[in-house]
């Protein structure tokens, strides 16, 4: 095996490594156990490390999440209760749907019809940071998502800020790089950035980025795309503002935007996985977020000086000294 290996090669290696499974280690601490017999991942980390591992499990798509829909001010909804909403045509649509449900795709289609033909998902920064498109939505929706995703330019600027805040290797800096890898994936899905912003807007956002107003600026960008002015004409681009931030979801709803709020279900000690690629995604995530992860006496790191764009696209890890 070469020093650098992509996720496909990592999946094959992990699958053949041990039929009985293995334990992953960070430093001297066990992080998680992989048990192919029960097709499960067992969290073994404690204290602060446990928080980081649970976050990695979420980003790898192993944790269950719900999608909560709140219609825009222009959607044809006649009434709502705690379980569902009724459209002006008499159709009932549930307010909440588990993303892993077999009904999720049809539910999303119905919402898209309600909001308007050609509805696109505008991704909040946290959707990109949590890799929900790659690891939760694409496995459920596949090609149906292609060309239907929009990336706010201010979200990209926010991720760049996270990277540039520290000139030294930190978890936040590594996760910002990992989020940039997610944007490369989104672009491969024919996702588009929202329209160009004026230089004055970018400069103003740069000054307040990371402060309490940054969410409001990203919502504003989404709203301007929803009702876009060009050449003296107003265009309506139906959108669903996709976010994992409850306060941002509530504020967007108050401002009239259609919202798709993704909420995590409770943490567990054990998580089922669907295939070895999910396990490899978890190993890759931990190799990036923790800096290094060890399996069977071999250490893998996810970030190193000189890691190329191609290696990021291939989800590569590199063998390192334990």
Tell me which of 209 and 188 has the higher pLDDT: 188
The pLDDT of 37-60, averaged and rounded, is 95
Residue 71, class by beta-carbon neighbours within 10 Å (0-12 exposed, 13-18 middle, 19+ buried)?
A: buried
Q: Which residues pair with 233 in a beta bridge?
A: 230
Residue 62, pLDDT score: 97
Predicted confidence band of residue 39 (pLDDT cuts 50, 70, 90): very high
The pLDDT, as a whole number, for residue 144 is 92
Query: How does the average pLDDT of the chain come out, rounded?
Result: 92
Each residue's pLDDT tens digit, 220-231: 999 999 998 766
pLDDT 10s digits, 93-150:
999 999 999 999 999 999 999 999 899 999 999 999 999 999 999 999 999 999 999 9
User: How many residues would you count in the chain?
Assistant: 322
55: its two tokens: 């976050």
Statement: residue 86 has pLDDT above 60: yes
- The token pair that represents 16 in the structure block: 């053949």
Which percentage of the chain shows pLDDT scores above 90? 80
Band of residue 297 on the pLDDT scale cut at 50, 70, 90 = confident
pLDDT of residue 196: 83
Q: Please check whether residue 249 is in contact with residue 70, taking contact to mean a CB–CB distance below 8 angstroms.
A: yes
Phi, psi of 266 (to 5 degrees): -60, 150
pLDDT at 55: 97
User: Which residues have C-beta within 8 Å of that of residue 10, sequence separation ≥ 6?
Assistant: 280, 283, 284, 300, 315, 317
Whether the full predicted model's pTM is greater than 0.75, yes or no, is yes
Asked if the model's pLDDT at residue 48 lies above 90, the reply is no
Domains along the chain?
4-61+267-320 (no CATH), 117-264 (3.40.50.1010)
Which residues are within 8 A (CB) of 47 and not within 5 positions of it... i.e. 6 or more apart? none
- The radius of gyration of the chain's CA atoms, rounded to the nearest angstrom, is 21
pLDDT at 203 over 80: no
Q: What is the pLDDT, as a whole number, of residue 269? A: 96
């Amino acid at each position: 095996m070469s020093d650098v290996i992509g996720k496909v090669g990592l999946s094959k290696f992990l699958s053949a490594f041990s039929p009985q499974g293995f334990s992953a280690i960070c430093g001297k601490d066990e992080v998680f156990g992989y048990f192919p017999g029960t097709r499960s991942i067992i969290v073994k980390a404690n204290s602060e490390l446990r928080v980081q591992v649970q976050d990695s499990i979420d980003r790898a798509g192993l944790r269950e999440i719900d999608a909560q829909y709140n219609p825009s001010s222009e959607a044809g909804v006649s009434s709502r209760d705690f379980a569902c909403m009724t459209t002006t045509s008499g159709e009932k649509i549930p307010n909440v749907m588990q993303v892993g449900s077999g009904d999720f795709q049809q539910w999303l289609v119905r919402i898209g019809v309600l909001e308007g033909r050609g509805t696109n998902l505008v991704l909040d920064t946290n959707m990109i940071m949590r890799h929900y498109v790659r690891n939760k939505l694409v496995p459920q929706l596949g090609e149906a998502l292609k060309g239907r995703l929009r990336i706010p330019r201010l979200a990209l600027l926010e991720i760049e800020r996270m990277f540039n805040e520290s000139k030294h290797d930190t978890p936040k800096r590594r996760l910002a790089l990992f989020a940039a890898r997610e944007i490369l994936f989104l672009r491969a899905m024919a996702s588009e950035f929202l329209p160009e912003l004026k230089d004055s807007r970018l400069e103003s956002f740069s000054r307040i980025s990371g402060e309490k107003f940054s969410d409001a600026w990203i919502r504003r960008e989404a709203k301007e795309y929803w009702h876009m002015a060009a050449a003296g004409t107003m265009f309506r681009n139906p959108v669903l503002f996709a976010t994992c931030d409850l306060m941002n979801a509530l504020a967007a709803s108050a401002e009239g935007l259609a919202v798709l709020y993704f909420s995590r279900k409770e943490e567990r000690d054990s998580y089922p996985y669907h295939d070895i690629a999910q396990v490899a995604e978890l190993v890759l995530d931990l190799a990036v977020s923790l800096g290094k992860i060890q399996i069977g006496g071999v250490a893998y790191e996810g970030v190193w000086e000189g890691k190329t764009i191609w290696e990021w696209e291939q989800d590569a890890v590199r063998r390192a000294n334990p």
